Structure 1
Amino acid sequence: MMPATPKTHKRKSTQYKPLTAMMEAYCQSYIKTPENQTQAAINAGFSPNTAAVKASNMMRDERIQKRIAELMEERNKRMRVSADYVLLRLVEIDQMDVLDILNDDGGMKPIAEWPKVWRTSLSAMDIATIKTTQASLQKENGEADLSVEDVEHILKKVKWPDKVKNLELIGKHVDVNAFKERLEVSGTVTIADRMAAARRRVKEQAGGEE
């Protein structure tokens, strides 16, 4: 008599089960901190002791994956962020030239005269404030009544952005696949051609949503 073949129990699919409140909270938290799944789980209410395991398990759940993709797509539409936008910003930051913010004598120009890409892309700046007494009003008895101070702000130091890291994080954060795209570029297609095409797509997208 042949021995009975043991029955294998197939794991039931969770595809059609609704997400729990904590799962939904995890998805909402994840799109804010995609670089830290464990912290996203903690923010969603999971115990710090089990958050890493919970996050790992949830990221394998097709329902979680689908919900995160939906949330990211919704946010990208609100923010008008796309792979083309990331590509344009990458080129803008890559082309930042320090001469654009320096005078001929090597001193820094006033911030108001900087190109927009410099004002929006610096990681940090160090500004010193100097106060000097300019004038004073006197009472009849000779005592000073009011001093007027001249405040001068001096820009001492600026910190350049980490150009590559900055755009990698943007690409990852919005999941626009800007760094995953597989391109078949012939010898006649240059980066200028790709940039021109990207600008056209961004312009068309902006015009279509007005």
Structure 2
Amino acid sequence: MLTPKQARFVEEYLIDMNATRAAIRAGYSEKTANQQGPRLLEHAEIAAAIDAAKGARSERARIDALWVLQRLVFEAEADLADLFGDNGELLPVEAWPLIWRQGLVQGVEVLELFEGYGADRVHIGRLRKIKLDSRVKRIELIGKHIGVNAFRENVHHTGLDALGDRLERALKRNH
């Protein structure tokens, strides 16, 4: 059973997933929060409570692994042509499919083009730039989700065990 302070830590941890800040907000000392936060995460009952709270939060939000995967696939397959009309002109933002308006487009820059100066100035066109979000990142996340190892970073350390043994023997010789 969690103490009230530990239960508060669980609640606070879910806010930003930062153990140190959660410990401080839960009432642990700021001086020791750097040590207390990670120690609290190792406590079996606290870890179980955090997992349960995350699960409950996901249920309330109706977000789970399947939702994430479906969303990533939908975003990865979104057709850029959907942003343009039959005449090749960029559609107004409100006419874009929802998936494009929910994060695939990071920004739109519109420049009005004029020719001439003062009273003789004539509008000659409009230049629109669209900054798109990375589809490669979405495909990488899909690959990681379903276990495709094409994007896994392999880091192999060799010789560290032998080095550790040698250092230990050297320390024993010097003492």
Post-superposition shift, 1:128?
A: 6.3
Post-superposition shift, 1:66?
A: 1.0
Distance 1:56 1:157 in 2: 45
* Corresponding position: 1:60 with 2:60: no
Post-superposition shift, 1:54?
A: 1.2
Post-superposition shift, 1:21?
A: 2.8
* Corresponding position: 1:100 with 2:66: no
Match of 1:161 in 2: 133
TM-score (norm 1): 0.50
Match of 1:81 in 2: 63
Post-superposition shift, 1:161?
A: 3.4
Distance 1:94 1:65 in 2: 34
Whose helix proportion is higher, 1 or 2?
2
Give the residue type in structure 1 aligned to 2:3.
T
Distance 1:96 1:44 in 2: 43
Post-superposition shift, 1:27?
A: 1.1
Distance 2:19 2:88 in 1: 46
Give the residue type in structure 2 aligned to 1:33.
D
Say if 2:10 and 2:49, in contact at 8 Å, map to a contact too: yes
TM-score (norm 2): 0.58
Say if 1:125 and 1:155, in contact at 8 Å, map to a contact too: no
Distance 1:155 1:74, change over 3 A: farther
Correspondence list, 1:29-178, <5 A: 29-34=12-17, 36-103=18-85, 107-122=89-104, 124-126=106-108, 156-163=128-135, 164=137
Distance 1:23 1:119, change over 3 A: same
Give a deviation string over 1:38-57, Cα, whole Å, max 9, x none. 33333334344432211110
Say if 1:122 and 1:158, in contact at 8 Å, map to a contact too: no
Post-superposition shift, 1:111?
A: 1.4
Partner SS, residue 78 of structure 2? coil
CA RMSD of aligned residues (A): 3.7
Give the residue type in structure 1 aligned to 2:72.
L
Distance 1:102 1:56, change over 3 A: same
Distance 1:102 1:181, change over 3 A: closer
Post-superposition shift, 1:80?
A: 1.3
Partner SS, residue 28 of structure 2? coil
Say if 1:19 and 1:63, in contact at 8 Å, map to a contact too: yes
Distance 1:52 1:123 in 2: 38
Distance 1:91 1:181, change over 3 A: closer
Give a deviation string over 1:67-92, Cα, whole Å, max 9, x none. 11111121111111121111101101
- Structure 1, unmatched stretches of 5+, are 1-17, 131-153, 172-177, 184-210
Say if 2:108 and 2:128, in contact at 8 Å, map to a contact too: yes
Match of 2:155 in 1: none
